[in-house]
Amino acid sequence: MTVLSENTEHTEKTEPRSATPARPAPAPRRRKPLGTRAYKAFRVAALIAVVLFLVAPLFWMLLASFKTNVDIYDTGKSFFFTPTGENYANVLQRNNYFVFIFNSFWVAFVSTVLSLVLGVPAAYAMSRFTMHRSALVVLMARVIPGVSLLVPWYYVFSNLKMVGGFEVLILSHMFVSLPLIVYIMMSYFDSLPLELEESAQVDGLTPIGAFRRITLPLSVAGMATAGILSFIFSWNNFMFALVLSGSKTKTLPVAIFDFVSYASIDWGGLMAAATVVTVPIMIIALFTQKYIVSGMTAGATKG
Amino acid sequence: MSVLTPPRSAQSQPPSSRNADRAAGARENFSAWANQHRKWLFAAPAMIFVGVLIIFPLAWTLYLSLTDSQGSVRAASEFIGLENYVTVLSDVERFWPAVGRTLTFTGVALVCEVVLGMCIALLLWRPFRGEKWVRVAILLPLVATPVAVGMMWRLIFDPNIGFVNQLLGMVGIPPQPWLSGQDTALGTTIFMDVWQWTPMVVLILLAGLTSLSEEPDEAARMDGANAFQRFFFITLPLMMPTVIVAILLRGIDALKTFDILYATKGKGGGSFHEVETLNVYAYGLSFDYNQYGLSSAVLILFFMIIIGSMWLLTMRKKAVSK
């Protein structure tokens, strides 16, 4: 959760370099800026290199998705070409990606909501009653290789005639979401002061009432963090859907994977498909940046 | 306490009875009971869910690993004791190379990600103009769908039309086979992993850096330590617990990497099993070859490797934190 506060920290450290190092620092201050020109230039160059390294491949994918396959094979047309929307039309209409988009969205949405319903109270109990061993059981799910669960699942669910239905996919994705949500919410509840609940109980609320009316409303940020991350992980999940989805419930990652099983790769279409999967999640990420960062780093700095 | 608050939650309402008073009484009783047992009432649903979905499959995997189950999961299988383990552990063609690849992949990727991640985190530590944009750039690989990322790299690393070989051509380096080369494939997939997951290490380390206290660093500066000395003797030791958390979180996922390997090289980790890690091997045994007994034995061994390395790291973290 530390990262959430970092914006405020940054504003307070624009003080000038002090000339006398021996002066006792009155206000809490950060290190003096490393002032030399060379360092500054190096830093700018390094930052640009980092950004290029991270963004260029995605940019390349985006470019290729607007190229015809002829242009993709023509190395002279790496950056200058006549853009075409044909790949997208192909992918979205002919290959029916709208169905896959819906499937991915639906599975991610339902599994996230259900995991929140199960996970938030559990995380609360585990945090307040320090149920470390119980927490360990739930967190085990993060460690176990998914394949070892897939064989038994496949057996049971195919006997129940559930393979190829949404229920199985949602259940299997909850298996990823639930531990994630419990993990994030536990560290959130740990950081939430007990006093508020206690005073609510003094004022006549039952413990459960205090949880519902005081703690839950205060935890909206934490639940947003957990929910968004769980949605992203579910959207990106490949292995479970590869085994457990049927033709009607195929999710986007599996659809993309199937794209290359044909004899020759339609690169333009493939890149358009890859863009269709990644762009929605990136847009969500841009608007929820703060939550994603705090979720990714939850519990990391407790020491 | 329960008398003061009318129980409102839907779950606390039993089916309506003829006698309203009795219903209200029952509701209050239930509310009192629920409040008293809230610890397990809250925790149990999630734990039962996880328990049913994990403990049972895990036990089943353990059982399967002791049988000769293959073909169809429904086909009869015989109990054969530890035979599968003997077969697997003496298999120098697929199993041990897969162990080697798993450890190489994880080890190299982790070292690159932590070193690179620390450098980038240090770059980002101090505020600067355009910080927002760099943060966005860091987030993008992190949330990108691994399968799509794999496809993207397939195009970029394509020996004939890929951009990487184009770039190399400009500086006069001959084209490399990358993913299609028997010796270069694993390295290329490691590179992909580094690209996608270094940002996560950066975020964790940055959170650690911002929570560090100023004084030790300030004191060292006054004593005349230069930037490198301060980093290696002050910042790094203080950051060790966070670094180990980052290694732990990333290491678990790196050991289990599947998506990009399967997306770029397909079944069996390529025709020469160039990138066949334990996870890919076990998946192939289970779902491409239906050798459930063998694959379960591989999975149990794999699981032990994961637990073992986690345990080692946790011990290390405890030692460092002291």
Q: Say if residues A261 and A117 touch (Cβ distance below 8 Å).
A: no
Asked if A289 lies within 8 A of B303 by C-beta distance, the reply is: no
Write down the pLDDT at residue B301: 92
Across the range B161-168, mean pLDDT stands at 87
Asked if B5 lies within 8 A of A204 by C-beta distance, the reply is: yes
A81/B99: higher pLDDT:
B99
Q: Is residue B316 over pLDDT 70?
A: yes
Rounded CA separation B290/B172 (Å): 47
Chain B residues in contact with A245 by the CB 8 A cut-off are none
Of A34, A121, A154, the CB nearest to B227: A34
Please name which of A226, A224, A230, A235 lies closest in space to residue A281, comparing C-alpha atoms.
A235
Chain B residues in contact with A271 by the CB 8 A cut-off are 151-152, 155
Asked if B152 lies within 8 A of A10 by C-beta distance, the reply is: no
Nearest CA in chain B to A143: B252
Distance from CA of B321 to the nearest CA of A (A): 7
Chain A residues in contact with B199 by the CB 8 A cut-off are 54
What is the per-residue burial (b if ≥16 Cβ within 10 Å, else e) of A81-109? Answer: beeeeebbebbbeebebeebbebbbebbe
Rounded CA separation B159/B161 (Å): 6
User: Number of helices (H) and strands (E), helices first, in chain A?
Assistant: 16, 0
Q: Which residues of chain A have pLDDT under 50?
A: 1-29, 32, 303
Interface of B with A in 99-118 (CB under 8 A): none
Asked if B306 lies within 8 A of A293 by C-beta distance, the reply is: no
Q: How many CA atoms lie within 13 A of B174 on its CB side?
A: 1
Size of interface A-B (CB pairs under 8 A): 325
Chain B residues in contact with A158 by the CB 8 A cut-off are 73
**Tokens linked to A11:** 């504003």
Q: Is residue B114 over pLDDT 80?
A: yes
Helix B95-125 and helix B131-143, axial crossing angle in degrees, nearest 10: 160
Q: What are phi and psi of B67, to 5 degrees?
A: -120, 170
Q: Say if residues B97 and B276 touch (Cβ distance below 8 Å).
A: yes
Asked if B161 lies within 8 A of A267 by C-beta distance, the reply is: yes
Q: What does pLDDT average to over chain B?
A: 85
Distance from CA of A118 to the nearest CA of B (A): 5
What's the start-to-end Cα distance of chain B, in Å?
44
Chain B touched by A61 (CB under 8 Å): yes
Rounded CA separation A187/A222 (Å): 9
pLDDT confidence tier of residue B41, bands split at 50, 70 and 90: confident
Chain B touched by A204 (CB under 8 Å): yes
Rounded CA separation A198/A192 (Å): 12
Q: How many CA atoms lie within 13 A of A296 on its CB side?
A: 28
Q: Which residue in this structure is represented by tokens 């039952």?
A: A206
Distance from CA of A94 to the nearest CA of B (A): 19
C-alpha distances in angstroms, A150 versus A122, B263, B264? 25, 19, 22
Write down the pLDDT at residue B98: 93
Of B1, B134, B211, the CB nearest to A51: B134
Interface of B with A in 38-67 (CB under 8 A): 38-43, 45-47, 49-51, 53-54, 56-58, 60-61, 64
Write down the pLDDT at residue A2: 39
Of A6, A30, A134, the CB nearest to B47: A134
Chain B touched by A83 (CB under 8 Å): no
Write down the pLDDT at residue A9: 40
Across the range B288-305, mean pLDDT stands at 89
Please name which of B96, B238, B209, B35 lies closest in space to residue A197, comparing C-alpha atoms.
B35
Q: Say if residues B83 and B294 touch (Cβ distance below 8 Å).
A: no
Chain B residues in contact with A301 by the CB 8 A cut-off are 204, 207-208, 211, 242, 245
Write down the pLDDT at residue B161: 85
pLDDT confidence tier of residue B7, bands split at 50, 70 and 90: very low
DSSP B74-129: TS---B-TTHHHHHHHT-TTTHHHHHHHHHHHHHHHHHHHHHHHHHHHHHHHS--T
Q: Say if residues A31 and B217 touch (Cβ distance below 8 Å).
A: yes
**Tokens linked to A77:** 């047309």
CA angle, corner A17, sides to A16 and A22, nearest 5? 130
Q: Say if residues A235 and A283 touch (Cβ distance below 8 Å).
A: no
Rounded CA separation A110/A163 (Å): 17
**Tokens linked to A116:** 């929140």
Across the range B192-209, mean pLDDT stands at 93
Chain A residues in contact with B241 by the CB 8 A cut-off are 303
Nearest CA in chain B to A168: B53
Asked if B210 lies within 8 A of A143 by C-beta distance, the reply is: no
* Region of poorest pLDDT, from A11-15, A191-195, B64-68, B182-186: A11-15
Alpha carbon B181 to its chain centroid, in Å, reads: 27
C-alpha distances in angstroms, A81 versus B100, B156, B228? 44, 17, 47
Chain B touched by A238 (CB under 8 Å): yes
Distance from CA of A249 to the nearest CA of B (A): 18
Write down the pLDDT at residue B185: 92
User: By three-state DSSP, how is residue B67 classified?
Assistant: strand
Interface of B with A in 154-193 (CB under 8 A): 154-156, 160-161, 163, 166
Rounded CA separation A157/A154 (Å): 5
Distance from CA of A172 to the nearest CA of B (A): 8
Nearest CA in chain B to A151: B286
Asked if B143 lies within 8 A of A292 by C-beta distance, the reply is: yes
Chain A residues in contact with B222 by the CB 8 A cut-off are 21-22
Question: What's the ipTM?
Answer: 0.83
pLDDT confidence tier of residue B106, bands split at 50, 70 and 90: very high
Asked if A296 lies within 8 A of B203 by C-beta distance, the reply is: yes
- Which distant-in-sequence residues (6+ apart) come within 8 Å of B18 by Cβ? none
Write down the pLDDT at residue B243: 92
What is the per-residue burial (b if ≥16 Cβ within 10 Å, else e) of A139-157? Answer: bbbbbbbbbbbbbbbbbbb
